[in-house]
Amino acid sequence: MTSSSSPSSPNKTSNALQTQQQDTPQEPERAKTPPPSPGPPSGLTTALTRLADLEAQMEFAYAKHIMLAKRHQLLEAQYDHLEGLPVGAEAFQDELNNMMRVEKVGE
């Protein structure tokens, strides 16, 4: 009995698969041709690409401009401060006078 039931099980399974395959529609076979080569980009694509590139360049240039403007302000402030400092003998005149007083007191 077991030998007769075993062969019938695979037959039932294969019959079920065949009926499922018959129920699903099969696509027609297509010829295997290579896809066409890409053509040149459209004018709109080229224009949008250029626009994006120019926007990136402008953002970089603006950031550089802001950085240089701040650097310029800093250098102007340093320059103004340096102009106010004494130059030459004026720069150390007070220290020289203090040293002369100390030497006179020591004599």
DSSP per residue, 47-76: HHHHHHHHHHHHHHHHHHHHHHHHHHHHHH
Where does the pLDDT of residue 1 fall: very low under 50, low under 70, confident under 90, or very high at 90 and above? very low
| Domains in the chain, number | 1
pLDDT in tens, 38-50: 899 999 999 999 9
- 29 located within any domain: no
Q: Which residue has the tokens 């002369």?
A: 100
pTM of structure: 0.47
Q: What percent of the chain has pLDDT over 90?
A: 41
- 72 located within any domain: yes
pLDDT of residue 12: 60
- 11 located within any domain: no
Q: Print the domain residue range for 75.
A: 64-107
- 83 located within any domain: yes
Quote the CA–CA distance of 53 and 31 in Å, as a whole number. 42
Quote the CA–CA distance of 61 and 55 in Å, as a whole number. 10
pLDDT of residue 16: 59
Average predicted confidence (pLDDT) for the chain: 82
